[in-house]
């Protein structure tokens, strides 16, 4: 990776963040906080790592991605639109009756969505199933998934972790979006899943801890995961909920609340300023 490539990825993340704000603002509904916290990971996956073809979304040998925390669909939709899976003009119609951009991703309606998600805990299990399919067919492709840290309170997540280690799914790479906040507050106040790294290790996973907003670290962690033999990898990505919009950062209140016009303008102005700074 050279510096220019990293710079391009960083720019892309800012563009995705602008799309996130616009989608949620237009819909006056949706989940900005968690979408912003995972935007850098999704950028790296779709614009650097994953083998996908926007012209052939059902390509059998593609890498697959499951957004297990499906409420962060604005981040995924932004990436899919920028990648060319569907026109960017669709994004402002997010959550509208005349759009296929469902509040939570539907694989039946949205080109590029590999699994319908939204009910927490189920996506990681689906990713386990995809990874098993990959093993049966001896595919060289990988399955990626992203789970929330609040989501780990779902028992099904641990069933999935157990199964992935049992079947030695080293073709499965999962990100934990560790932003420490859920709707009702700090995860350690609501129902602490900590210490997550030790728990994942105890469940038989390879664990890599990174800063989830550092594109190079994300890429290196994936490269590290790909070297794993016989073990699935959990990349514990330390993130900031609301990342990139000053007044949304580390505020649980922005989990599922849309900005008003003034707030949306302020958010976009901040992101535009970052973009302008990158052009210099």
The site map against other proteins for 188-207 (x = CB under 8 A) is --------------------
With binding defined as CB under 8 A, does residue 146 bind other proteins?
no
Half-sphere exposure in the Cβ direction for 222 (13 Å, CA): 20
58: number of Cβ within 10 Å: 10
Q: Is the Cβ–Cβ distance between 65 and 114 less than 8 Å?
A: yes
Alpha helices in the chain (DSSP H): 3-27, 32-37, 39-44, 73-83, 122-136, 155-166, 187-191, 196-202, 215-226, 261-279
Q: Which of 7, 96, 133, 186 binds other proteins (CB under 8 A)?
A: 133
Query: 48 or 106: whose CB is closer to other proteins?
Result: 106
* Stretch in the footprint of other proteins (CB under 8 A) among 7-15, 19-27, 156-164, 242-250: 156-164
- CA-based nearest residue to 142, from 232, 204, 80: 232
Nearer to other proteins, 28 or 58 (CB): 58
46: which DSSP letter? I
Cβ closest to other proteins, residue 165 vs residue 235? 165
**Binding residues for other proteins restricted to 53-112, rule: CB under 8 A:** 60, 64, 66, 106-108
What's the CA gap between 125 and 145, in Å, rounded? 10
Q: Which is nearer to other proteins, 78 or 160 (CB)?
A: 160
Q: Give contact residues for other proteins (rule: CB under 8 A).
A: 60, 64, 66, 106-108, 114-116, 118-119, 121-123, 125-134, 136-137, 155-156, 159-160, 162-163, 166-167
């Amino acid at each position: 990776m050279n510096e220019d490539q990293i710079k391009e990825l960083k720019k892309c993340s800012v563009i995705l963040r602008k799309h996130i704000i616009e989608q949620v603002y237009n819909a006056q509904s949706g989940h900005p906080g968690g979408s912003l916290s995972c935007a850098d990971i999704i950028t790296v996956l779709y614009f650097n790592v994953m083998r996908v073809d926007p012209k052939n979304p059902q390509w059998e040998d593609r890498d697959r991605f499951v957004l297990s925390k499906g409420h962060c669909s604005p981040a995924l939709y932004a990436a899919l639109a920028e990648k060319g899976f569907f026109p960017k003009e669709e994004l402002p119609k997010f959550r509208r009756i005349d759009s296929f951009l469902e509040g939570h991703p539907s694989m039946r309606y949205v080109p590029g969505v590999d699994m319908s998600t939204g009910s927490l805990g189920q996506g990681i299990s689906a990713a386990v199933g995809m990874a098993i399919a990959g093993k049966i067919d001896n595919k060289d492709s990988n399955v990626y998934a992203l789970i929330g840290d609040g989501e780990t309170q779902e028992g099904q997540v641990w069933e999935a972790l157990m199964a992935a280690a049992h079947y030695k799914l080293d073709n499965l790479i999962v990100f934990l979006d560790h932003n420490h906040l859920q709707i009702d507050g700090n995860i350690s106040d609501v129902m602490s899943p900590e210490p997550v790294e030790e728990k994942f290790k105890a469940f038989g996973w390879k664990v890599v801890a990174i800063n989830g907003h550092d594109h190079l670290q994300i890429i290196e962690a994936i490269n590290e995961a790909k070297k794993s033999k016989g073990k699935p990898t959990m990349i514990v990505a330390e993130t900031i909920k609301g990342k990139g919009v000053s007044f949304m950062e580390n505020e649980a209140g922005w989990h599922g609340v849309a900005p008003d016009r003034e707030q949306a303008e302020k958010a976009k102005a901040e992101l535009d300023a970052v973009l302008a700074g990158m052009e210099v």
